Amino acid sequence: MRSEDVLLNKLKVRFKNDPVADIPAETTRQMELFRSDVKAGKRIAITVGSRGIANISTIIKAVCDALKTFGARPFIVPAMGSHGGATAEGQKNVLAEYGVTEEAMGAPVLSSMAVEKIGALPGSEGLPLYMDKNAYEADAVFVVNRVKAHTDFHADNESGIAKMLSIGLGKHAQALVTHGYLLDGLKNFTPRIAEAIVATGKILGALAIVEDGYDQISILRGAHPRDIVRVDSELLKISKSMMPTLPFENIHLLLVDWMGKNISGTGMDPNVIGRIGIRNAEDGTPRVNTICLFDITPESHGNALGIGLADLVPQSLTEKVDWRATYENVCTSRFLCRGATPVTLPTDRDVVDVGLSACGHAERETLRLVRIKDTLHIDEIWASDPMLDDIKDNLMVGIEERGVPLQFGEDGALKKLS
């Protein structure tokens, strides 16, 4: 079977959809929780990470404006571990692409990789604690981050406020130290580091963000320092209940148009594709035999962490990779498999053809093929006929088109999903 023989059906998937109607107003309302804790003239650092959070510039602008009305002098610090190539300029550029600039926010953006060592984690044999130097020199720090499932592990606190307080606010230095303990370090030390940072008295509070299944802001919740780890855990459960997943358990061939740091910290979210890409770690569902990946988003600046989750890629993708930035991120995480280069072929068509051959003797009547734009937007899925039995009783999935072939240009490039 070859690529020209593939016929797919367009499926529309419904997820939980409950967006905040007025994001600036709700942000301002949540910020009122902290009015009495802010003294006039205080310099307050606001953390902003590297993830593609919906409406992040709108939220940060509202946080800045609220703090100003309290009499504070806010400024913004990138809090993203080793992302942005682990450079001050790279991290500032990441924020600028999200619209978080000094001009737009009305507050300075102070980007530096310098950190202050502020102690050691109790009961950890001396694991050092670090904080962004600009944030440490402020009168207080206000933490803003999205709460969602982590791409490496599952625990009470995963990717959220606790992670921002530890690996994010601690910059590359804290990321290196914590990742040095591998999965145990991430799972067990992250909330403990967060609690230790809160215990310094430097944290004014936090604004936690939860997105619904359509990448829209569903919850904005303020948390006082003493409540941060608990609120982080509570919102994680809600976030997971709204998290989009593929409605299949077994897939022969998965075609993914785009990977990117603005899509997932690992380029493709393991919670969606079922592959963790960490040796000796247990994969989840769906169970996918072969993954074909075709492109990397411009917002990634060539950081292809997670490319190793794919089996086949075209040469056009690898030519866009900034291997220095990729390896900086991969080596910091210690999960080296995620930076491995997949089998690389001349064109997208070649990638699909070899992917089909990897399915063995599967023909049109048995081939379980799925195509998605990326792992963040899976409300639209393209699937082969054998997959339709999996969703025949699923009221959340409908069929919109049938029997549509893959479209390639004369150069063998696959036409991307819009």
Strand arrangement, sheet containing 203-211: 73-78, 43-48, 140-146, 203-211, 217-223
In a domain, 371, yes or no: yes
Co-location of 47 and 164 in the same domain: yes
Co-location of 295 and 366 in the same domain: yes
In a domain, 415, yes or no: no
Domain count, the chain: 2
Co-location of 219 and 250 in the same domain: no
Q: How far is CA 254 from CA 16, 202, 205, 219, 385, in A?
A: 24, 46, 42, 32, 14
57-61, 95-99, 256-260 — which is least confidently predicted?
A: 95-99
pLDDT, position 16:
84
In a domain, 416, yes or no: no
In a domain, 411, yes or no: no
pLDDT, position 161:
95
Co-location of 99 and 224 in the same domain: yes
Peptide bond into 286 cis (omega under 30): yes
Q: What is the pLDDT of residues 284-320, one digit of tens each?
A: 889 999 999 999 999 899 999 999 999 999 999 999 9
Which residue, 208, 242, 276, sits at the end of a domain? 242
Co-location of 56 and 189 in the same domain: yes
Co-location of 225 and 333 in the same domain: no
Co-location of 276 and 365 in the same domain: yes
Which residue, 211, 242, 273, sits at the end of a domain? 242
Q: Which domain holds residue 325?
A: 3-15+244-405
Co-location of 156 and 286 in the same domain: no
Strand partners, 295: 258
Co-location of 230 and 262 in the same domain: no
| Cα–Cα distance, 229 to 160 (Å, whole number) | 9
Residue pair 222/33 in contact (Cβ under 8 Å)? The answer is: yes
Co-location of 234 and 260 in the same domain: no
Residue 171, domain CATH = 3.40.50.11440
Q: Which two tokens stand for residue 312?
A: 């086949």
The C-alpha torsion from 383 through 317 and 258 to 267, rounded to 10°, is 120
pLDDT, position 95:
94
Is residue 120's pLDDT more than 80? yes
Q: What is the pLDDT of residues 318-341, one digit of tens each?
A: 999 999 999 988 988 888 999 999
Co-location of 234 and 129 in the same domain: yes
Co-location of 207 and 340 in the same domain: no
The whole-model pTM stands at: 0.81
Which residue, 190, 208, 242, sits at the end of a domain? 242
In a domain, 413, yes or no: no
